[in-house]
Amino acid sequence: MSVFADFHALQSVPVANLNRDDLGSPKSVKYGNASRLRVSSQSWKRVIRHGVEADLGEKAARTRLVPVKVAEKLRDQDWPEDLAAFAGAQVAASASAKKPLKVEQAGHTSVLLFLPESGIEELTTLCTLHREALEKGLGKKNPGALLPPAHVEEILKRRTASISLLGRMLAELPGANVDGAAQVAHAFTTHAAEPQRDYFTAVDDWLPSDATGSGHLNTAEFGAGVFYRFASVNLTDLITNLDGDAKAARTVLASFAEQFLMSLPQAKKNSTAPHTVPDLAYLAVRRHRPLSLAAAFETPVRADNAGGFSGPSRQALAAYARGIHRLTADAHRPFHGHAAVSGNTLEGIGEEHPSFAGLIEATVDAALTAHGSRP
């Protein structure tokens, strides 16, 4: 039976446009017959991934530019332009003994690759070792694979902790797929909310003294609200992806927990600076399956007498959790707890912890104990 660590957060975000649609408007969703603001899982997952990689000191890159980056490294080593470009293309051509990766006219692969950044240096070194073969193949119509496919494939299929955590989809390279251990939901406002328009101008500092008006004017859209956020990590799968290393899994899980709570998508940050943190974090360890509490907000929350949504959202989440725990008789949940900015009692969501750090530590300990691994 799998063990899951579930992460729930309520976060008030002021004027912001964290995640835009194709027209530049904040993304939205209709839920419970009410329009809500939304932040896509991809948007928040990306900034979480970068935070985890920074914590662990091992960066990965999701990119189509592997051949281009290899060629750049080789040019920096004084390789001729044509030979460097050919060598970069050979990385894709030699990626598999059965079927090469396609390279488009601009020199990038037709699919996104996801590999450790150190892989670029390794591929560059591999090209250097096989420079003679590359020089002989330069200019040939069908030179074939001039780099050892097994070695190139091994580099492209290598994992980092973030790849083990979040997964990798690469059907073009057999054996490269990694089923991610983490699931991240789209965040949405607990209450009805719609984008608002902002008319703005920019002043030209060097206008003549007799000139009036602005140098630029435009409109932009933004939104604000209290967001419900949810993610879950399958600890069993994470340990499997990490080749059974429970100690590494502890580090990765703790890093994910902190980044889930403390990260924020960076769109429009210079003009909005919406740098809040959650005012409620609820973490739980579950067996059998994860459990989202999104349905707590299917009926949109109404503002309290003071006009705020944060307090009613915390109460709505706790009330719904109590109902769900009654229905399930608290089965398959060896641990849960919360940390909140408010001192008001929130029954039904476990013991209150004074800090995120304490809550995270208790959750990770409980998850590894439930899995049968020593904390």
pLDDT digits 0-9 by tens, 308-341: 999 999 999 999 999 999 999 999 999 999 999 9
Provide Rg for the chain, Cα atoms: 25
- For the cut 60, the answer to whether the pLDDT of residue 44 exceeds it is yes
- Mean pLDDT on 162-182: 88
Q: What is the mean pLDDT of residues 234-259?
A: 96
Q: What is the pLDDT of residue 375?
A: 56
Using 50, 70 and 90 to split pLDDT, how confident is the model at 257?
A: very high
Identify the pLDDT of residue 360.
Answer: 98
Look up residue 114 and give its two tokens: 């996801």
Q: What is the pLDDT of residue 282?
A: 98
The pLDDT value recorded for residue 344 is 75
For the whole model, what pTM was predicted? 0.90
State pLDDT tens for residues 117-170: 999 999 999 999 999 999 999 989 889 899 999 999 999 999 999 999 999 988
Q: Please compute the mean of the pLDDT values over residues 259-273 and round it to a whole number.
A: 92
- In this predicted structure, what is the pLDDT of residue 220? 84
- What is the average pLDDT across 57-62? 90
